[in-house]
Amino acid sequence: MDEATVRKRVEKVSSMERIKTNVDKETGDNIRNMELDGVKVDEDFKRYYPYNELASKVLGFTGGDNQGIIGLEVKYEEYLKGKNGTILTTTDARGVELNGVAEDRVEPVAGNTLQISLDYNIQMYAQQMAEKVMEEKQADKVGILLMNPQNGEILAMASYPTYDLNDTRNPESMYGSRMVEQVTNANGYYEIKKTNTIIDENVVASMDETQMYVNLDYLWKNFCITDTYEPGSTAKPFTVAAALEQGAVSQNTSFECTGVLEVGGYPIKCHAQGHMSLENSIATSCNVTMMKIAQLMGKEDFCKFQNIFNFGLKTNIDLAGEARTASLIYTPDKMGPTDLATNSFGQNFNVTMIEMITGFCSLVNGGYYYEPHVVNKITNASGATVKNIEPRVLKQTVSESTSALIRQYCKAVVEYGTGTSARPPGYKLGGKTGTAETIDPMTNRRSENEYVVSFIGAVPADNPQVAIYVVVDRVNADKQDNARFATKITRDILMEALPYLNIFMTEPLTDEEKAELDALQQDITNQYIQTPEDGEGADPDNPEGGSQDNPEGGEEADPDNPEGGEQGGPDNPEGGEDGQNAPWMDYPIDDETGYRVGPDGRQYDAQTGVPVEGGESVPNPDLPLNPGLTGAG
C-alpha cells in the first residue's frame, strides 16, 4: 500500500477505519510494538489448509477478507465464514482511543464445519495415481472421479496438475503444463486457448501480470467439473440405452459391420467388424452399429435422450465453477446426418467429467439420476447439525430392464472386450473404454495424433456400489489412442479402494493375481501391523487380526470355486457366438507390447483378440465439426 492511501485512512475522522486485512503475523507484531495512538492490530487469521494439495481443487481457497474464491469455499461461503468479531472502544471526539478506558470486545464466531463425502484414503489413491501418470506419461491433464452410484456422493475427485492450498500462487505448480492465453472470440467473449509453449522458469519470468493470472486461474480450475471434451466411445452405452428405451432396437437386434458406413457423403470407418449383437457392439466398441442405431432412432429422439441424460445441462453439483455445455451439444434443427452419426459414438459434442459419471451411474443403477454432491452435512462449532444433505433423485433416465441390459453389456467390455485390462483381481467390473481425437486449436481440424483416452465403469458389475471415471488428456506417447492408459489407472485405484471400502471379492483369482495382491496386501497390512509384543501369541485369537483378514477371507474362499471356470468364462461365450477359432490366435506376440500382430501390422489383444490400436476411433479430419466445439482447446 502506498503512504498516501494509508495516511488518508489513518487520518480520517471516524470511530473505526479498517486499513488492511490479512496482514501477516510479523507485520502485525511490528505495528503493535510501535504502540501508535489510535492504531490497533486486530486479531485476524488466514485460513490454513492442513492437507495442502489433497483435494485442493474441490475445497478451494479464500482470498482477502477470507472470501471463497473457488471450490466449496464459494458454494458454502455463507456457512463457512463465521462472524467477524468486533472490538468496541471508547474514543474521543476525534476518534482517538482513550487510554485506560474499558473496551468491550465481541468475540468472533467460528464458521460451521462441512462434513464432506470425499474419502481421505481414496482421494489419496486417486491423486497419487494422477500424479504418477502425469510424471510418467507427461499427459496434458488427468482427471479421476469416484462416486457412489446409489446416492450421488463423490468419493474422490482428483485432477492433475494441481497446487498447494497454502501456496496457491506458486508458479512452479505450472511447470511442465502448456501455457494458455486469453483471446477474444468471434462473439466478443473471452476464451482460453492452449498454446504449444510448455511452462518453465523462463516462461514464467516472461509472463506479464495478466498472463500470470490467466495461467494460475487455469491451474486452479477443477478439471472434473470445468473442462469440456468429447467423450468418445464412453458415450456408446448411452446411445444403446436410449435406443432400447425408445424401442428403436430390442435386446435381440443385431447388425452387420463391414468396417465402414457412408453417411452424408462421408465414409466413416470402424475397426471392429463382423456380426454385432448389442452386447458385441459395446464390448468391441463398434462405430457402425452406433451409427445405424442412431439412424433408426432419428435425430429428434436422439437429441431428446441427450437431454434426458443431462448432456448440455449442469448437474448442479455443490461446487462452484461447473461448465456450461448447452452450446456444445446439438439440437435437432442444427443436426445433419453426419452429426447424428458422429454423436452416436461420442464425437462432436462436449461433456464434463461430472456430467458423464452422473449419467453413467443412472444407466447402471436402475435408471436413477442422483444429484452429485460433496457435502453430506453441515455442523456448527459445538457439533450440532445445521443442515443434512439427503440424496436427491432428480429423474429416471431409463427403466430397470434397460439398465440391466447396459450392466450386462458393460460387463462384457471388461470380460472379453476392449476393457479387460481395467479389471481388478477378484471383482466383476462393468464399464466402457473411450478414445477421441482432440480438435487442434491451431487448425480447427480433428487431430490425427492427439487423443483423450478414458474408462468409465462401475463395480460390482451386477450391483454397482462404486463408479469410477478416468480421463487422460493428450498423453505424450506414440500410441496415444490406447485406452490402456486409462484402464491401468482404473485397475490400480480399484485394487486399493475396493477392499478398503469392504466390498468383498466374488471372483476366483489366478496365481498371478494372488501374488500381486499378496504383495499389495502386505503393504497395506504393514501400515496397521502391531508391534511384535502385541502380536505375539495373540494372533489367532485377536479379533483385530480377524478383521485384517477380511479381504483375505474373500481370497480364501476361491479354492471352492473351480478356477478353470473363470478362465473359460470369457472365452466360451465369445468362441460360441462368433465362431472364432479366430485367425488372430495364430498371430505372433510382439515382445515389446505384448500384443499379437497380424500380417497387416494391426495389433490385437493377446488374450481376447480385440484390435488394440485405433480399435475405437478412426480419425477422419474431413468430417464436418460441430461449430460449437471449434476453438475450444
User: d(Cα 469, Cα 229) in Å, to the nearest integer?
Assistant: 14
Stretch that binds Zn ion, among 91-99, 267-275, 412-420, 513-521 (CB under 5 A): 267-275
Instruction: State which residue, 268 or 323, has the beta carbon closest to Zn ion.
Output: 268
261 binds Zn ion (CB under 5 A): no
Query: Under a CB-based contact definition with an 8 Å cutoff, are residues 353 and 434 in contact?
Result: no
Instruction: State which residue, 423 or 432, has the beta carbon closest to Zn ion.
Output: 432
Cα–Cα distances in angstroms (integers) from residue 187 to residues 184, 248, 335, in the given order: 8, 39, 21
Instruction: State which residue, 345 or 427, has the beta carbon closest to Zn ion.
Output: 345
Q: Smallest distance from the beta carbon of 590 to Zn ion, in angstroms?
A: 24
The x, y and z cell numbers of residue 214, run together, are 490467466
Sign, CA torsion 484/486/492/495: negative
Judged by CB under 5 A, which of 257, 356, 472, 503 binds Zn ion? 257
Stretch that binds Zn ion, among 25-33, 266-274, 426-434, 532-540 (CB under 5 A): 266-274
Q: Where are the alpha helices (DSSP H) in 275-418?
A: 278-283, 287-297, 299-308, 337-344, 353-364, 400-415
Read off the DSSP letter of residue 284. Answer: T
Stretch that binds Zn ion, among 4-12, 40-48, 272-280, 426-434 (CB under 5 A): 272-280
Instruction: State which residue, 259 or 391, has the beta carbon closest to Zn ion.
Output: 259
Q: Smallest distance from the beta carbon of 400 to Zn ion, in angstroms?
A: 29
Read off the DSSP letter of residue 65. Answer: G
β-pair type (385-388, 375-379): antiparallel
Q: Look at residue 50 and give its three-state secondary structure.
A: coil
> Please, what is the angle between helix 236-246 and helix 353-364, to 10°?
50
Q: Smallest distance from the beta carbon of 496 to Zn ion, in angstroms?
A: 35
User: d(Cα 554, Cα 562) in Å, to the nearest integer?
Assistant: 15
Judged by CB under 5 A, which of 288, 329, 363, 406 binds Zn ion? 288
Q: Smallest distance from the beta carbon of 454 to Zn ion, in angstroms?
A: 20
Instruction: State which residue, 215 or 617, has the beta carbon closest to Zn ion.
Output: 617
User: d(Cα 269, Cα 341) in Å, to the nearest integer?
Assistant: 11
Decide: residue 297, CB within 10 A, 0-12 exposed, 13-18 middle, 19+ buried. buried
The x, y and z cell numbers of residue 224, run together, are 472434473
Instruction: State which residue, 144 or 282, has the beta carbon closest to Zn ion.
Output: 282
Query: Under a CB-based contact definition with an 8 Å cutoff, are residues 246 and 397 in contact?
Result: no
Count of CB atoms situated within 10 Å of the CB of 294: 25
Instruction: State which residue, 147 or 282, has the beta carbon closest to Zn ion.
Output: 282
575: left (phi over 0), alpha (psi -120 to 50) or beta: alpha
Instruction: State which residue, 157 or 286, has the beta carbon closest to Zn ion.
Output: 286
Instruction: State which residue, 235 or 286, has the beta carbon closest to Zn ion.
Output: 286
Stretch that binds Zn ion, among 205-213, 252-260, 366-374, 418-426 (CB under 5 A): 252-260
Stretch that binds Zn ion, among 115-123, 171-179, 196-204, 257-265 (CB under 5 A): 257-265
Stretch that binds Zn ion, among 35-43, 269-277, 420-428, 508-516 (CB under 5 A): 269-277
Count of CB atoms situated within 10 Å of the CB of 87: 13
Instruction: State which residue, 145 or 276, has the beta carbon closest to Zn ion.
Output: 276
286 binds Zn ion (CB under 5 A): yes
Stretch that binds Zn ion, among 166-174, 280-288, 411-419, 620-628 (CB under 5 A): 280-288
Q: Smallest distance from the beta carbon of 240 to Zn ion, in angstroms?
A: 14
Q: Smallest distance from the beta carbon of 233 to Zn ion, in angstroms?
A: 11
Instruction: State which residue, 158 or 272, has the beta carbon closest to Zn ion.
Output: 272
Site for Zn ion in 30-49 (CB under 5 A): none
Residues touching Zn ion: how many (CB under 5 A)? 5
270 binds Zn ion (CB under 5 A): yes
Q: Smallest distance from the beta carbon of 619 to Zn ion, in angstroms?
A: 16
Q: Smallest distance from the beta carbon of 576 to Zn ion, in angstroms?
A: 20
Instruction: State which residue, 7 or 275, has the beta carbon closest to Zn ion.
Output: 275
Stretch that binds Zn ion, among 226-234, 268-276, 400-408, 495-503 (CB under 5 A): 268-276
End-to-end CA separation in angstroms for the chain: 39
Count of CB atoms situated within 10 Å of the CB of 236: 28
Site for Zn ion in 563-592 (CB under 5 A): none
Q: Smallest distance from the beta carbon of 461 to Zn ion, in angstroms?
A: 24
Instruction: State which residue, 168 or 617, has the beta carbon closest to Zn ion.
Output: 617
Q: Which residues is 456 bridged to in the sheet?
A: 432, 469
Cα–Cα distances in angstroms (integers) from residue 214 to residues 68, 185, 285, 355, in the given order: 18, 16, 39, 25
Return the H-helix or E-strand segment holding 493.
helix 484-500
Q: Smallest distance from the beta carbon of 274 to Zn ion, in angstroms?
A: 8
Cα–Cα distances in angstroms (integers) from residue 365 to residues 491, 513, 521, 597, in the given order: 21, 29, 30, 39
Stretch that binds Zn ion, among 126-134, 254-262, 342-350, 375-383 (CB under 5 A): 254-262
272 binds Zn ion (CB under 5 A): yes
Cα–Cα distances in angstroms (integers) from residue 605 to residues 489, 591, 611, in the given order: 18, 13, 6
User: d(Cα 5, Cα 607) in Å, to the nearest integer?
Assistant: 73
291 binds Zn ion (CB under 5 A): no
Q: Which residues bind Zn ion (CB under 5 A)?
A: 257, 270, 272, 286, 288
